[in-house]
Amino acid sequence: MGSQRRLTHLYGWALMIVAVFCQWCQGSCPEKDLGKREEEANVVLTGTVEEIMNMDPVQNTYSCKVRVWRYLKGKTMVNGEVLLDGGNKVMIGGFGDPGICDNQVATGDTRIFFVNLTPEYMWPAHKNELMLNSSLMRITLRNLEEVELCVEGKLTRCGLHITWT
Ligand SMILES: *[C@@H]1O[C@H](CO)[C@@H](O)[C@H](O)[C@H]1NC(C)=O
């Protein structure tokens, strides 16, 4: 009896160690913590990818037309010609950027996007686009809440987000 229980125990521990190790070994792309990401992005929004376009065959990057549901940060910075189709869509570039861990989307994906207005050196090709600044984030209540608290400055430490792929 006793030894069997010990064995089960051992087995449980072994499984846990393997699980933790596998997460760690696969997570070769550590993400900056959320506070840093929020700080670096002037605009944070939730939206759904409607169309993938402007594939760059050399750099393997692309842009997406995204229907915006909500701005979590920087709504007032997004105006003029950045707004498309009557104002509720934007073009976001920089998908596939190897400098960003979670950088791929498909049509129909809904995500939290951390973006910036395109810097002038990328004009004219990317004028009036927003640029992905850090990893895409899945929409969960917890993620939304954490991002909101970060934006409001209510969390001193905004959590470490690591993307396990
Ligand atoms: C994100 O934005 C910051 C400026 O806020 C910039 O320094 C950094 O290079 C950007 N990162 C990417 C991956 O574009």
* pLDDT per residue as tens digits for the range 22-63: 555 555 678 888 999 999 999 999 999 999 999 989 989 999
> Which residues, 6+ apart, have CB-to-CB distance to 114 below 8 Å?
37, 38, 40, 41, 43, 44, 132, 133, 134, 135, 137
Q: What is the pLDDT of residue 19?
A: 67
β-partners of residue 137 are 112
Determine the distance separating the centroid of ligand 1 and the alpha carbon of 32, expressed in angstroms: 12
**Best residue among 100, 101, 133 to mutate for probing ligand 1, ranked by most atoms within 8 Å of CB:** 133
* pLDDT per residue as tens digits for the range 63-93: 999 999 999 999 999 999 999 999 999 999 9
- Nearest atom in ligand 1 to the alpha carbon of residue 132 is 14
Which position has the higher pLDDT, 123 or 156?
Answer: 123
pTM for this one?
0.80
Instruction: Compute the mean pLDDT over every residue in the chain, rounded to the nearest whole number.
Output: 87
Instruction: Say yes or no: CB of residue 116 within 6 Å of ligand 1.
Output: yes
From residue 52, how far is each of 3, 60, 89, 154 by CA, in Å?
58, 13, 13, 35
What would the two tokens of residue 162 be?
């690591």
Three-class DSSP category at 131: strand
